[in-house]
Chain A
Amino acid sequence: MVEGISTIPDEKRRACGNRKREMIRYARHLPIVCAVFAAAFGAPAGAVTQNASVNANVVKPLTLVAEQNLDLGTVTLPNGSWSGATVGISRAGVFTCSAKVICTGATTAASFNVTGTNRMNVLVSAPNVTLVNQNDNTQTLTLVVDSPTQVALPNSGNQGVAFNVGGSITLNSTTVSGIYKGTINVTVDYQ
C-alpha cells in the first residue's frame, strides 16, 4: 500500500459521506463502519400501521339569565259549573284563552338567555311549575311549561342565544280566586 492513498473502493467512501484523508489512512485496515439508520425512520417490512384520531371538546361554562317573566294576565271565571278551561301562552308567544273564561291584560312568555361555546348544543330542562295562591297557599294550579328541549349556541361568550318558555293552566269553576305565583326553574347543560 502507498502512504496517503486509500485502497477503499470509491462507492463505499461516497456512501459514508465526506471523510478527511487522515481518517481514510487508518480506516484502510478496517471495514468501513457506516451505519445508515433507515430502520429508525420507517417500520420494518411486514409491519402494518394504522392511525387513530383523538378528540376533546373543551367548552366554557354555560351561563343562564332570566330576562322576562311569564304572565297569563287576568282570567275572569264565570258563574256556573264548568271545567277544563285551558289558558296559556306558547313559547312562540301565542296566547290562547278558553271560550269558557274571559281573558284580559297583557300576556308574556318567559324569556331566558344562555351563553357558552359556539356551535355547541345545549339541552334545556324546565319542569312544570306549581303556582300557589298568594292568599291561600293550599290552593295551587299547575303550569304545564312549553320549553324547547335544546338550543344551539351561535356564538361564544357574551351574546349567547335567547329562548322562550311558555306555559298553560287549566281552570274549572271551583278554582279559588287570587294571584297565583310560581317559579319557572330552567336548567341548561351541554349535550
Chain B
Amino acid sequence: MKVLLLSLYHPELVRGGAQQVCYELFEALKAKPDVEPVLLCAVDPSFDQLYKSGARITGFDGRPNEFLFLSRDYDGFWHKTSSRLLIESYVEFLLSVRPDVVHFHHFLLFGVDLVTVTRRTLPEARIVFTLHEYIPICAERGQMVRKLDGAQCDHASPVRCHQCQPEHGPERFFLREQWIKRHFEAVDLFTTPSRFMIDLYTRWGLERARLAHVPNGQQNRAGARLAEPPRAKRNRFGFFGQLVDNKGVRVLFEAVDQLRREGFTDFTVEINGDNIAAATSEHRALIEDYLEREAERPAGERLVVMNGSYEVAQLRQRMMRVDWCVVPSVWKEAFGLVISEAWMFGRPVIASDIGAMAERVRHEWNGLLFNAGDAAALAATLRRACTEPALWQALSQHIEAPASDDAMAEDFLKLYR
C-alpha cells in the first residue's frame, strides 16, 4: 500500500505539533511491511533557498520519499493557491506516485481545493484528512478564541466571524464555510486527535460517520523509566512549547507575580520553547520585558528561567529538571503533544480546563486543571502543587504511557483499508 502524507512544513524546518505527528506517522509506516509512505511537506517562500528554479515540487535533503511542495501565490483567506502551474505539478506528482491513500494533515500552503484535485486525479484513492485544529471552522487562525473579549468560541457563524474580522462582511464567512465544505465532500474520512473535536466538527456540519478518533502517537523518548530520586519538595514547574499568544505563558507569568506578591517564592518556573517571532508584537514585548526583568533580579530572587528552544533529543534533559509540566493554553488545544511528552517522563500536568487538556488530564487523578486564562486560579494551583504533601506522588502514579507512534500507525492502517 502506498500512502502519500501531506504535511504543513517539515518538522525539521518549522516545529509544530501537526508536522511532528505527521512525521512520526511517516517514520512508523516505514517500519510496516507492505506499506510505502511518501511525504510531501508544504513550505512557504520564506524558505527561498530551498526553492529550485522552475520546480514546484522537489526532494528534501537527499532523503528517500520526502518531498517539498514549494507553495506560492497562496491565498490565506480562501486557502487556495492561485498558481495554475503548481496545481498541474501536483497532478503530475500524484500520477507519478500513484498512492492508494492520500492522507492530508493540513491544507495550509497547499490549498483546500487540492483535496478536490486529488479526488479528480485519483478517483479510486482513499482520502483521509486529519484535523489538527479548527481552521476550517475559524478564519481567525483556527484558534476559536473571540477577539472581542478573548472568550472561548463554541461555534462559528457569519456574523460572529465578522465580529472577529470586521474587515470582512458576514457573507464572506458564509461563502468561506461553503467553499471549504465543498472541498471536504471529496474526503472519505476525517480523523481528530481528540474526541471533543468530533462533536465540534459534527456541529459544524460534517457527518458523524465520516469522523474517527485517532490519538496522536509519538516515539517513546524516555527509554526505560528512571527511578525518581526522592525529593522533599515538588516545586519545579516547566513550560514547554511555542511562546505564541494562545499558549498562555502570559497567564503563567501573572500567576508567578501573584505568588510573589503573596510572599510565596519557594518554587521555580523553567520556560522551554521559542518561535516568539510568531507572536503578536504586543505579546512578544510583554514576554521579552518580563523575562528581561526576571533575569535582572538577584539570583536568589529569580523565579522564572528562560532555557530557550530545544530539539526533541533534548526533551529528556529538560523534562528531568522539572516536577510538573504546566500547559496554560488559552485556546482549545486539539491534542496537546506536550501532555504526552510530560507523561512520557512521568510528569503530572497542570493544565487549562478546556479543549484537549480537559479531555486528557483527569483532574485530581493524573493532573490538575484550572480555569483557563485565570491567573489567580493557576497561582492557587501552583501553590497547592508545591505545598500539599504527597500530591505529586498520588497524581504521577496514575499517569499512563501516551499513545506510541506504532499504535497510531496501526490505527491509521485500519482506516486506510
Is chain B a partner of chain A in the same complex?
no
